[in-house]
Amino acid sequence: MKFSVLMSVYFKEDADWLNQAMRSVWDEQTLKPNEIVLVKDGPLTPELDDVISIWRDKLGNILQCIPLEENVGLGDALNIGLKYCSNEIIARMDTDDIALPQRFEKQLVTLQQEDVDICSAWITEFDVAPSLATGTRKIPEYHDAIAQYAKLRNPINHPAVMYKKSAVEKAGGYRKMMWFEDYYLWVRMLLTGSKFYNIQEPLVLMRAGMAQLERRSGISYAKSELALLNRFRSLRFLTGCEYCKALLLRIPVRVVPVFLVRATYKYLR
């Protein structure tokens, strides 16, 4: 099965991390993609442009670079990139993460053998170095459990996802929902009949940890999460009781002191 890798990069990202991500997608994979679509979300730093130039020379037509005149944000950048993906199967990859060598091979086998439209996996998080893991985000395996899990938490690890382009387009693609574009998409895919599966092992090393979690706190983040839950309620994905439960479990943690956020994070992991 032919497949594309969809990536988006913007000026705040690290050139060395981008190069490491590209090596993991191409040099280190047991099964290489047929194309890599890289959206340049606005003007980049010279260092990032240099890395991209090196990879364009190396990969030729396999690497498609889509330059945008201004930064539009991840969701819109990915929607644009989707249009340039020529294959039905698309793997998402963040430009600061590391794909483990058998990631694409294992996901393609799953998509071939299982009746599913979207396949993700666990991710191992790290802060300082890939060898120093800070935790693993585990998510349910089968569709029904994934759908139930989605009532309270994001059921798919976006940096490790592989999906069918037609299923994403049927659900309307990525839409505006600050910090939650992917979660919003998964729920709409559930509502439009897509079948989900999560491989029960880590396939991506994600650059995350406490620093990222602390950025995902505060009033602005809580307001965006409230908007997401309100949208889920209006779509009738959440019942009244499920909505209230989600509010109680998700919103308070965004506005409590940082030391409590750390404690909650460790408990959930």
Burial label for 45, CB within 10 Å (0-12, 13-18, 19+), is: middle
Residue type for position 85: C
| Tens digits of residue pLDDT in 27-65 | 999 999 999 999 999 999 999 999 999 999 999 999 999
DSSP for 191-260, written as a single string: HTT--EEEEEEEEEEEE-SHHHHHHT-SHHHHHHHHHHHHHHHHTTSS-HHHHHHHHHHHSHHHHS-HHH
Tell me, what's the pLDDT at 210? 59
Backbone angles phi, psi at 87, to 5 degrees: -110, 150
Tell me, what's the pLDDT at 120? 98
| Tens digits of residue pLDDT in 187-213 | 999 999 999 999 999 999 999 855 566
Q: Could you give the C-alpha distances from 103 to 21, 25, 29, in angstroms and in order?
A: 13, 9, 7
Element (H, E) at 262: helix 258-268
Q: How confident is the model at residue 141 (pLDDT cuts 50, 70, 90)?
A: very high
In sequence order, which residues have a C-beta less than 8 Å from that of residue 192 and are 6 or more positions away? 167, 170, 171
Tell me, what's the pLDDT at 253? 78
In sequence order, which residues have a C-beta less than 8 Å from that of residue 244 and are 6 or more positions away? none
Tell me, what's the pLDDT at 260? 67
Backbone angles phi, psi at 223, to 5 degrees: -65, -40
Provide the strand spans (E) within the chain: 3-9, 35-40, 63-67, 89-92, 98-99, 118-126, 133-137, 162-164, 196-207
Tell me, what's the pLDDT at 208? 81
Q: What is the DSSP letter of 152?
A: T
Domains belonging to the chain, first-starting first, are 3-208 (3.90.550.10), 209-269 (no CATH)
Full-prediction pTM beyond 0.85?
yes
Distance CA 251, CA 254 (A): 6
Distance CA 47, CA 50 (A): 5
